[in-house]
Amino acid sequence: MTLEYYFQAVGHSLTVLTDPTILLLVFIGSIGGILAGAIPGISVPMAIVLTLPFTFGMTPIQGLATMCGVYIGGMSGGLVTAILLGIPGAPSAVATVFDGYPMQRKGEGGMALGIGIWASFWGGILGCLVLMVTAPFMAPYVLKFGPWEIFSLIVFGMTIIASLGEKSIVKGLLSGVLGMIAGCIGADPIYNTPRLTFGFGAVIGGVPFVPTMIGMYAVSQLMLDTEKSEAWKREVKKIVMPDRMPFWRAMVVSVRKWRETLLASAIGVFIGALPGAGSAIANIFAYDQVKKFSKKPELFGTGIAEGVVASESANSAVAGGSLIPTVTLGLPGNMIAAIMMGALLIHGIQPGPLFMRTQSELAYGLFTILLFANLSVLVLQFYFVKVAARLLNVPGALLIPIIFVFCVIGAYSVNSVLFEMYLVSITGIMAYGMVKGGIPLAPFILGLILAPIAETNFRVALMTDGNMWLFLTKPISGVFLLLSVVSVIWAYRQLQQERAAAAGKPKE
């Protein structure tokens, strides 16, 4: 790909911004995302899943615009409660509490919010720029991947996801395999022969993606929330809203913290690009690294701008990073990217090595929309922060039934099939059981999405040459499989070390 073509494509993609519908959808999505991110208990994946059914009637670019708005808004929205109440609205804002809340208690809440919003913006923009620069130039190399390499890459992605951040590697792998089996249910991807259906006609086309996601991420999450009465009978803390948020002064402060922003954003992009790792890890890791590189690490945690900048720029940079493997390899960087990938698959668009070539308009349009979404979230946050804070007063007893009603509408409205509505309940209880049994949900969802791609490549590889050893002897494929083994061993050793450290700690 030549630079001339690249700049032409980027320039052409700017035309999406002339479409008022797309701009409006990004705005609506951003508002939804900010509100979802602000309310503890509503996660960004849950918000994206609930958005998904609304996007099916739209064109792919409009659907992506809505979801990008929710994604970027949700990443930024978590800072509202983190700063005002000391409760992270989303896992991506955990580290924002460390310095944001002390700033609020010192009477600098407005400044903390302003800095956080600007840091989110810079991080998001940097993440998008990295995506814009790397994805198109990576794509030609990825195109050289054959079915052996793609299959091994999926195996690598699945093992990383299964072994990252969980207490049991076996259960992580188990979840991935269960997802793969669920992905095999229905007609096989090459000859359309039904399998594993138990004669049940409703699943011949495969396990419906949207109701499964709604059940697994919304229903099970709400059930988990209601286990602890304080989660839904939220005792409404008195929210001390700052009188004003200094827009320009906050910008100046955030610009002065450019070193922290750059370091945290780089960490965010890198962690986002790793399959399975997301903003929940990125914000804490970036906070820790920025603290280590700081000349005054002892001030972190006392309410300083650097802490807010580190957390917020890292969690927003994750968005761009997570889409790099999605766009180039067809391997989602995190749960949200997986949901967006699923939405594209439903539209018949396959993200992956050919995506940048066959869907270049959509791919470059996505980059432009992400940039615009960051801008829209920046503006909206300054106006919606008070609305988002007021929403915290809505009792859980009112909010939970509303979400459930939308879950049911979302599941049914895609295909108007009753079975898909029932599936919400079935997958909801299944996911709840999985979480209670210590089985993570993310590998299952990724397995479900990636199973047809993995199977197709596996079979095409064997049909091309029946020699199974080629998966190991082809250099790139072999490296991916080796990395898969290394990732499992590494995760196992980490777990052992953590257990040994925990056993050595005296009981309180």
Shortest distance, CB of residue 9 to other proteins, whole angstroms? 34
Number of residues that bind other proteins (CB under 8 A): 59
Residue 435 binds other proteins (CB under 8 A): no
Residue 90 binds other proteins (CB under 8 A): no
Of the candidates 423, 456, 492, the one whose C-alpha atom is nearest the C-alpha of residue 173 is 492
Residue 227 binds other proteins (CB under 8 A): yes
Residue 458 binds other proteins (CB under 8 A): yes
Residue 396 binds other proteins (CB under 8 A): yes
> End-to-end distance of the chain based on CA atoms, in angstroms?
61
Site for other proteins, residues 233 to 252, rule: CB under 8 A: 233
Residue 400 binds other proteins (CB under 8 A): yes
Residue 59 binds other proteins (CB under 8 A): no
Instruction: Quote the CA–CA distance of 172 and 438 in Å, as a whole number.
Output: 9
Residue 226 binds other proteins (CB under 8 A): yes
Instruction: Using the structure block, give the residue that is written with the tokens 């093992």.
Output: 159
Closest to other proteins by CB, 18 or 193:
193
Pick the piece of the chain touching other proteins (CB under 8 A) from 109-117, 319-327, 374-382, 412-420: 412-420
Instruction: Using the structure block, give the residue that is written with the tokens 């099970």.
Output: 220
Instruction: Quote the CA–CA distance of 126 and 186 in Å, as a whole number.
Output: 42
CA distances from 53 to 40, 407, 437 (A): 23, 10, 29
CA distances from 423 to 231, 280, 284, 416, 449 (A): 26, 29, 36, 13, 17
Q: What are 194's strand-pairing partners?
A: 187
Cβ partners under 8 Å of residue 406, min gap 6:
50
Instruction: Quote the CA–CA distance of 159 and 489 in Å, as a whole number.
Output: 10
Q: What is the dihedral of CA 472, 478, 484, 488, to 10 degrees?
A: 70
Closest to other proteins by CB, 402 or 486:
402
Residue 429 binds other proteins (CB under 8 A): yes
Burial (CB count within 10 angstroms: exposed 0-12, middle 13-18, buried 19+), residue 295 = exposed
Residue 375 binds other proteins (CB under 8 A): no
Residue 197 binds other proteins (CB under 8 A): yes
Residue 235's region, left for phi above 0, alpha for psi from -120 to 50, else beta, is beta
Site for other proteins, residues 163 to 182, rule: CB under 8 A: 170-171, 173-174, 177-178, 180-181
Site for other proteins, residues 274 to 313, rule: CB under 8 A: none
Residue 10 binds other proteins (CB under 8 A): no
Residue 416 binds other proteins (CB under 8 A): yes
Closest to other proteins by CB, 96 or 221:
221
Residue 224 binds other proteins (CB under 8 A): yes
| Footprint of other proteins (CB under 8 A) | 57, 170-171, 173-174, 177-178, 180-181, 184, 188, 190-191, 193-198, 219, 222-224, 226-227, 229, 232-233, 395-398, 400-402, 404-405, 408-409, 412-413, 416, 418, 421-422, 424-425, 428-429, 432, 437-439, 454-455, 458-459, 462-463
